[in-house]
Amino acid sequence: METTQTLISSPIGVLAVLCAVAAFFFLLAQVSEAKLFNYVPPLLFIYATPVFLNNFDVIPSKSIIYTGLSQYALPVFIVLMLIKVNVPAVVRVMGKGVLVMLMGTAGVVVGGVVAYLIVHGWLSDDAWKGFGALAGSWIGGTANMLATKEMLGASEAQLGLAVIADNVIYIVWLPLLLMSRDFAEKFNKWARVPADRLAAMDAAADIHAEEDTAPTMPEYLFLAAVVFGVAAIGHALAPGLARWIAETSPDAAGIFSETTTRILLVTTLALILSTTAASKLPNATAIGTALVYIFVAGMGARASVAGLAEAPAFVLGAFIWIFIHGLFCLAGAWIFRVDVHSVAIASAANIGAAASAPIVAAHHRPNLVPASILMALLGYALGNYLAPMTGQLARIAAGQ
């Protein structure tokens, strides 16, 4: 059997390796303070390292741990990420900047379809699933990419292409968002930004500023009860709801699989909880993000280096895609008369999510860092709905 041929085959050993890989690259980034990690995030290394460990028979390509991550860790980190969404707060601080972000999100959906139509001839027939996964990353973040991968049933090869394209574009796009600050005066004049917009935004940010408090043991128990409870409800209701959809609307059966239904259920329940006291539970986002990176390592462990021949065409499509996203952001800035700082943060909240939006905010206007995180979480809220839709629209448009 395959597991006997690997250096580490026990489930606990495999899980330990995945955790160690994820922890190592964040430790390396902190200790070395290398600027490399500002432009090539740890995510790429966390995904790529298990790929090589798998292909060199250090860890297996199949393990109960990988199945457990998909079945149980995925809904858990979705709830953890989404119960902190605070739409009223981000609207109060960013104002019409939220509308620019939504324009950027529309640009991701439209751009994904257009780019796929242009390059799909050089890609495999299931590449629309990879585009859907990448749309998840660009609408909300890595958690959405992983959720969309599961919903669409994308192969490990397609996820690998999405990760590669995501990081190549990130290396180019992040510096552009940072450099845009130097053109603030000219940009704001072109966008006809009201003179009092920046002052009003700063005032709202100061009002919203909150002090962090140390979590208590009961709060962790409350958080565990909420998170596992929502995940359990999703697991319990998804099979019956998926069957009902298949019976009442056979055409939708291929879209709303049991996995898709479960993830959408969990997403919706978590968003409802974000309007309750559950949103005050501490450290949910940090714990959820940690699970995301372990999940990414698990995805890498299942991947193969085969299929990377499609990478050039896939990345070309991603460049076309990001150009369309940028045009939508510029159109939003002009229509809603929004400053360059808000536009850069809005785009980062889409393309780089919670990992990049604070970096861009700190460079442009440090007092907007908390709002940038909230804006990125708003993207998380949208991603599980819009990303699979983007993939399906790309498939339909290409006649597949």
CB atoms within 10 A of CB 171: 13
Q: What is the pLDDT of residues 131-165, one digit of tens each?
A: 999 999 999 888 899 999 999 999 888 998 999 99
Question: Confidence band (pLDDT; 50, 70, 90) for 359?
Answer: confident
According to the model, what pLDDT value does residue 1 have? 38
Q: What is the rounded distance in angstroms from the CA atom of residue 116 to the CA atom of residue 398? A: 8
Residue 37 placed within a domain: no
Contact present, 81 and 380 (Cβ < 8 Å): yes
Cα→Cα distances 347→69, 343, 354, Å: 30, 6, 11
Output the CA torsion 205→208→77→378 (10° steps). Answer: -50
Q: What is the pLDDT of residues 204-215, one digit of tens each?
A: 666 555 555 678
Residue 243 placed within a domain: no
Average pLDDT over every residue of 342-349: 93
User: What's at 56, amino acid-wise?
Assistant: F
- What lies within 8 Å, CB to CB, of 63 at 6+ separation is 3, 9, 11, 14, 301
pLDDT surpassing 50 at residue 2: no
The two three-digit tokens of residue 141, written as one number: 């973040």
Contact present, 385 and 141 (Cβ < 8 Å): no
pTM: 0.85
Number of domains in the chain: 1
Q: Which residue has the higher pLDDT, 34 or 206?
A: 34
Task: Determine whether 316 is exposed, middle or buried from the number of CB atoms within 10 Å of its CB (0-12, 13-18, 19+).
Answer: middle
Q: What is the pLDDT of residues 254-292, one digit of tens each?
A: 778 888 889 999 999 998 998 898 888 888 888 988 898
Residue 118 placed within a domain: yes
Residue 105 placed within a domain: yes
Nearest to 18 by CA among 57, 46, 44, 48: 46
The overall average pLDDT reported for the chain is 88
Q: What is the rounded distance in angstroms from the CA atom of residue 210 to the CA atom of residue 92? A: 14
- What lies within 8 Å, CB to CB, of 337 at 6+ separation is 96, 191, 192, 193, 194, 197
What are the helix (H) ranges across 181-216? 184-190, 197-208
According to the model, what pLDDT value does residue 209 have? 53
The proportion of the chain whose per-residue pLDDT surpasses 90, expressed as a percent, equals: 48
Residue 110 placed within a domain: yes
Contact present, 142 and 296 (Cβ < 8 Å): yes
pLDDT surpassing 90 at residue 245: no
Question: Confidence band (pLDDT; 50, 70, 90) for 35?
Answer: confident
Residue 246 placed within a domain: no
Average pLDDT over every residue of 183-212: 77
Q: What is the rounded distance in angstroms from the CA atom of residue 55 to the CA atom of residue 61? A: 8
For residue 372, the enclosing domain spans 87-213+310-397
Residue 62 placed within a domain: no
- What lies within 8 Å, CB to CB, of 358 at 6+ separation is 369, 372, 373
Q: What is the rounded distance in angstroms from the CA atom of residue 398 to the CA atom of residue 112? A: 12
Q: What is the rounded distance in angstroms from the CA atom of residue 282 to the CA atom of residue 84? A: 9
Residue 361 placed within a domain: yes
